[in-house]
Amino acid sequence: MVPEGRRKLPPEAVLVFITMIWGFTFLVIKLGLAHGGALALVGLRFAIGAVLLVVITRPSWPRLAEWRAGFLIGASLFAGYALQAQGLTTIASSRSAFFTALYVPLVPLLQLALFRKPPGWTGLLAIALAFAGLALLAHPKGGVFQLSLGDALTIAAALACAFEIILLSRYAPHCNPQRLAVVQMAVVAALSLAASFVTGAATPWSYPPFWFSTIALGAATSLIMFAQAWGQARVPALRASVIYAMEPVWAGIVGAIAGDPMTLATLAGAGMIVTGILVEPFRRFLRRKAAPPESAPAARQTSGGTPG
């Protein structure tokens, strides 16, 4: 019998923890890329993450369905990383953050277009709050709709991120989380390293911070990919996309610790995102409070073995 005080780990809490790790890796990535090598860093961090996950969890050989799902998810993930990195070469980071945030409203729109799955009113409210919060965090300035090549590449990155979230929620419930995470990390590593070789991008192999950052990011990636596959097998894509909007909140906290100013707009944006995440739990709480009181004894009687 499970002890009364023991509770299962909420999958939403796991996804929030993932966004915390993402936010804290911003400074690590910045340190590693001080001398270039974006694609190589992505490839090596995912390769290290895949090896670590294999060594720690010792998963069995992936099934064909897991290879197929892992390739599709990994390809979307690689596209998001590569396009965002390329876009950042020509536009400011705040502008990039704003356009990348488009994956929040893109997830339900893609679900509606591909699967005829409309979001409910709580989903629409959560999307609006999260997107407004992201806009405040990114504080874009002027010319938002005058799209440059960098803007277009970053919007494409947001689309890739939205596809990755949808694919993960669609396939993860039918796959082993360890095996799926290993496959998708291997795909990202292979595609990134191949792209780095084909493009001839300079890589600072003799720069120690590059390797320190890559190893640290590899360990974090191993944890993130496994936790994400486990969490999204239990959390709908729409809710997951809103939770992932917490990433810039943590990044802002880390930036503040590192000396970046926390403006009123930043605090307001963080508050909107947190409010968006709490919309659905609050609705469930109100529904439970409105439930008839006699339903609880009936449930206890049924669970005690009384014939129906």
Condensed to tens digits (0 to 9), the pLDDT of residues 73-109 reads: 999 999 988 887 777 767 766 667 667 777 877 888 8
Tell me what the mean pLDDT of segment 111-124 comes to.
79
Helix axes 64-87, 38-57, angle to 10 degrees: 150
> Confidence band (pLDDT; 50, 70, 90) for 298?
very low
* Per-residue pLDDT, 75: 95
3-class secondary-structure state, position 88: coil
* Per-residue pLDDT, 153: 87
Condensed to tens digits (0 to 9), the pLDDT of residues 25-44 reads: 766 666 666 666 778 888 88
Q: What proportion of the chain, given as a percentage, has pLDDT over 70? A: 77
Query: Nearest to residue 170, comparing CAs of 240, 237, 245, 80?
Result: 237
Q: Tell me what the pLDDT averaged over the chain comes to.
A: 77
Is pLDDT above 50 for 305?
Answer: no
Is pLDDT above 60 for 2?
Answer: no
* Per-residue pLDDT, 4: 46
Condensed to tens digits (0 to 9), the pLDDT of residues 190-212 reads: 999 998 888 877 777 777 777 88
Q: Which of the residue ranges 67-71, 222-226, 237-241 would you say has the lowest mean pLDDT?
A: 237-241
Condensed to tens digits (0 to 9), the pLDDT of residues 260-277 reads: 666 777 778 777 877 777
Q: How many helices (H) and strands (E) in the chain? A: 13, 0
Tell me what the mean pLDDT of segment 176-200 comes to.
89
Is pLDDT above 90 for 56?
Answer: no
* Per-residue pLDDT, 76: 94
* Per-residue pLDDT, 188: 93
* Per-residue pLDDT, 30: 64
Q: Cβ distance 86 to 155 under 8 Å?
A: no
Count the neighbouring beta carbons within 10 Å of the beta carbon of residue 109.
Answer: 13
* Per-residue pLDDT, 201: 72
